[in-house]
Amino acid sequence: MGSAMVLTAALAVVAGTAGAAVAIPAAGTTRAVEDCADRASAAVAARAAADTTPPARAVVGAPKEKISYGLPDQAPVGLWTQGGITLRAPVTKGTVRLDVDSRGFSTDSLSVQRYVPEKHRWVDLDTRPSGSDAPQHGVFTFPLTASASADHPYTVALRFQDLDRPGSFTVTASVDDGKGHTFRTPARTATATRPDVSVTGWQRQTTLTRGGPASEATVTVKNTTDRPYPALRAAYFAYGQGTAHALAPKDLILQQYRPGHGWERVALVAGGCDPGMSAALHAADAKPLAPGATAVYRIRVAVAPDAPRDVTTAQAGISVGNGDLAFFSRDLPFAIKDKK
């Protein structure tokens, strides 16, 4: 895949194309990532660290129910949403099955895990091949060994994460006791939400002059979900290829406006996977973005006087996300010309 296509695909993760989440550069990055594998392993390491966080195990449902299933009303994109199954039927060995129907995104982009107390970690549930490129129905299972009864209910903590886009998903849980009995719960539905993000100021046909003035863009993020968004980050990406040269970090001047500081230059870092470049913007606030709260990022971009003459267009964009997962992206392309 060409560099331009890589950049476009990365920026379109949430904007309209399903797929793996784009990694957001860590704040304070000062050197180029050596290769794509380094970025992937960094994301995996961060995820593995989160896998050891124990859940708040709480019994769900009413005492009269043989099996109960709990799921919050909202499941914000990119955040783990915890649910759980409580079994009161007399089951010692069996199989738990979750039938999931999605709307607005594929069930392939939904991650489902259970907490295993003996291992002190979260593990992925088993899945069945769907046979479809974009399935709307998924089946997730795991083996169960317990001593469940009405007097001693047994609870398994579960969690879900939508890695794609807004929509909703419905979960129907059941337990097969291995003796010909299947216990089912009523279906539960969660809405996959994400903060509202808008980009203003950047014109559709923006042209930047080598050595000329900068063009501005303002990104406004409002948390319209019911959960705080931790580790909110925004990143800028750019790529330009000419007949003989590609844009390098020294060829673009990226600045960010910070209240109390004014306009400050933000270092662009060459990509380890292609000639593109990226920069992590300064956080609008160190605290999680609370429900109803707003974060604003103001940037401006200019082209250096000695930028290569054979590069006349650049693909660029901005992404917003939490941790290493972007839940929004927008293209901010521009043309490049010489001074008259």
In this predicted structure, what is the pLDDT of residue 273?
60
In this predicted structure, what is the pLDDT of residue 61?
86
Give the per-residue SS3 of 222-267: ECCCCCCECCEEEEEEEECECCCCECCHHHEEEEEEECCCEEEECC
Q: Residues 39, 22: contact at Cβ < 8 Å?
A: no
In this predicted structure, what is the pLDDT of residue 150?
87
Distance between CA atoms of residues 22 and 10, nearest Å: 5
Name the strand (E) or helix (H) holding 21.
none
State the average pLDDT over residues 20-33. 41
| Chain segment 132-150, per-residue pLDDT in tens | 777 899 999 999 988 888 8
| Chain segment 224-263, per-residue pLDDT in tens | 999 999 889 999 999 999 999 999 999 999 999 999 999 9
Q: Is the pTM of this model over 0.85?
A: no
| Chain segment 314-333, per-residue pLDDT in tens | 999 999 998 778 889 999 99
State the average pLDDT over residues 50-67. 80
Q: Which one has a higher pLDDT value, 146 or 168?
A: 168
- pLDDT level of residue 32 (50, 70, 90 thresholds): very low
11 pLDDT above the threshold of 90:
no
In this predicted structure, what is the pLDDT of residue 76?
93
Q: Residues 298, 234: contact at Cβ < 8 Å?
A: no
| Chain segment 258-305, per-residue pLDDT in tens | 999 999 999 999 986 667 999 999 998 889 999 999 999 999 999 999
Q: Which of 167, 163, 156, 139 is nearest to 74 (CA)?
A: 167
In this predicted structure, what is the pLDDT of residue 26?
44
Q: Which one has a higher pLDDT value, 46 or 100?
A: 100
Within 10 A of 7 (CB to CB), how many other CB atoms are there? 26
164 pLDDT above the threshold of 90:
no
* Strand partners for 190: 169
Residue 311 has phi, psi (to 5 degrees) of -95, 115
- Percent of the chain whose predicted confidence (pLDDT) is above 70: 83
| Chain segment 169-199, per-residue pLDDT in tens | 999 999 998 888 899 999 999 999 999 999 9
Ordered structural domains, the chain, with CATH: 3-48+195-337 (2.60.40.10), 55-192 (2.60.40.10)
Q: Which one has a higher pLDDT value, 129 or 259?
A: 259
In this predicted structure, what is the pLDDT of residue 48?
52
**Sign for the pseudo-dihedral over CA of 94, 108, 219, 318:** positive
